[in-house]
Chains A and B, each alone.
Chain A
């Protein structure tokens, strides 16, 4: 649905996006991840035809952003980072105005607005003035706007920015729900968000693609982290010999027990990546059987974060080398 080839954007001497290529298939939810200023928003602005690329091509639903911008706009629902709304309008009035601009036929307009309001949970504020709404509701109005024309592709720039934890949960749930019928490209700098919502992650750093991988593969490197009060060597021996354990690494003990010589921590990698949950239970049983106190037992979530930090660091190094050359 989205094909991006060697896309570049320069603002004067500043290279905001540099030779970015990726593609998003129908029905995929792809997270565009990157530190602030990495070029996420610029990429999205090019894909939604708000900006023209300096070079490269991008096609959405078969339409080129340069040759057929209006056709692209018809296929895309876009939630910009700044959530542009007219503060003096009422929610329903704003959505009606937007649906007219988006060519929603008059006969279906009412139903389309009702659906968007219902999906984003705006029923209670539909008659209130947009300018008086809280940040969370404004964000939802922006989301409802993106959904109005029931577009094939949704491009959401930081859809959960500025929301409280409950609202974040609701919006993530909504995005996952929408992912069943729409192709979604969303940007964020929140790592867990990608893990919860997306099927694939594209990490962008310094305007370049640093990583493009399915979340399944990224999760595959998952391991169990365990913190135990007991003799370090004996614990290591027991964990190593657990069936299904693929590798073991000593971790620094953090938190309340930091520096306590009686406490040790290990990361145990599963040999079979699917079996990590079984390994987790097995480790719990074996630690308890040995009479040690089990202080912590976690699935290691560090995998994506590690890849992210590494990818961003590598991108910076490459960039410096590029500048030196």
Chain B
């Protein structure tokens, strides 16, 4: 595992050396600004019905309930993970990586941690506005829902990036990797449509909304830190990374 820091460092510095990184960051900054604008509107509207548990929670409007946030995330995550391993396979640099004393597990972990760091950097613009809300709006934010939202966003991101890494390992075509990741993430987001198709059946509805990342994030934003969801995110992460390692190991035999 001692090679992982070097791999992460290279991954992150390569990412931030590309102008693309800053365009994506700028895009997220604009979305954060628009969402913040809506949040301020909502908070200053005396007729607004606010509740601090459930979907009417203001933090929910800011992040989890914002369709712009989800669209941007569903584009940004595949865009940043598609490169990770597929690019190395396409350009042949994987040959240099797999002929030094570095194991496949180390490579996959390095790529994944690098991806998670980039994902967290994308979300930073959303955090920037919150101190202003407190400073100039005099609006007292409760720390607990923010912490649980932070944990939820992080574990969800770890899962998303791991899925992206698995797709990136499976192909040398970046577009294929991006499309595969995008479709998987979109399914996780829109899985609630299943409820509308099969009708209101109690068992189904519960299972489906448990799997929906949209519902999960709303819950986190409301301050309900459901450890079952955290466990789900982490186990999908481990499984996806395991698949990526196996795909890379299989490459030696082909």
A-B interaction: yes
If over half of B's interface residues share one DSSP class (helix, strand or loop), that class is named, otherwise mixed; here it is: loop
The proximity string for B residues 1-25 relative to A, scoring 1 for CB distances below 8 Å and 0 otherwise, is 0110011011000100110000000
Q: In the assembled complex, how far is the CB of residue A175 from the closest CB belonging to chain B, in whole angstroms?
A: 19
Find out whether the CB atom of A84 lies under 8 angstroms from the CB atom of B102: no
- Mask, B157-170, CB within 8 Å of A = 1, is 00000000000000
What chain B residues lie within 8 Å of A70 (beta carbons)?
101, 103
Note all chain A residues with C-beta closer than 8 A to B97. Answer: 101
A78 x B102 contact (CB < 8 A)? no
* A102 with B99: CB separation less than 8 A: no
User: Which single residue of chain B is at the shortest CB-CB distance from A45?
Assistant: B95
Contacts of B253 in A (CB 8 A): 51-52
Q: Are B101 and A74 in contact (CB under 8 A)?
A: yes
User: What 0/1 pattern do residues 244 to 272 of A give for CB contact below 8 A with B?
Assistant: 00000000000000000000000000000
Bound: A297/B9 CA distance, A: 61
Other-chain contact of B10, A45, A50, A74, A97 (Cβ < 8 Å): A97
Are A73 and B6 in contact, with the CB atoms below 8 A?
no
Query: What separation, in Å, do the CA atoms of A145 and B18 have in the docked complex?
Result: 24
Residues in chain B near residue A74, CB distance under 8 A: 101
B14 close to A88 (CB less than 8 A) = yes
| B-contact bits for A106-127, CB 8 A (1 contact / 0 none) | 0000000000000000000000
B131 within 8 A of A: no
- B93–A85 CB distance below 8 A: yes
Cα distance, A98 to B72, chains bound together (Å): 35
With A52-B252, A97-B10 already in contact, the answer to whether A102 and B100 are too (CB < 8 A) is yes
Knowing A49-B99, A101-B102, A103-B101, the reply to whether A82 touches B10 (Cβ < 8 A) is: no
Question: Given A48, A51, A82, A102, which contacts B92 in the complex, CB threshold below 8 Å?
Answer: A82
Contact call B10/A86, Cβ cutoff below 8 A: yes
Interface check B91, CB cutoff 8 A: yes
Determine if B93 and A84 form an interchain contact, defined as CB atoms under 8 angstroms apart: yes
Cβ contacts A to B, 14 pairs, < 8 Å: A11-B254, A45-B95, A52-B252, A80-B92, A84-B92, A84-B96, A86-B93, A88-B17, A88-B18, A97-B6, A100-B6, A101-B97, A101-B101, A102-B101
- Measured CB to CB, the residues of A under 8 A from B are 11, 45, 48-52, 70-71, 73-74, 76, 78, 80, 82, 84-86, 88-89, 97-98, 100-103, 145
**Interface contacts beyond A101-B102, A103-B101: sample of 16 additional A-B pairs, CB < 8 Å, sorted by A:** A11-B254, A49-B99, A70-B103, A73-B101, A76-B99, A80-B96, A84-B92, A84-B96, A86-B14, A88-B18, A89-B10, A89-B14, A97-B6, A97-B9, A98-B100, A101-B101
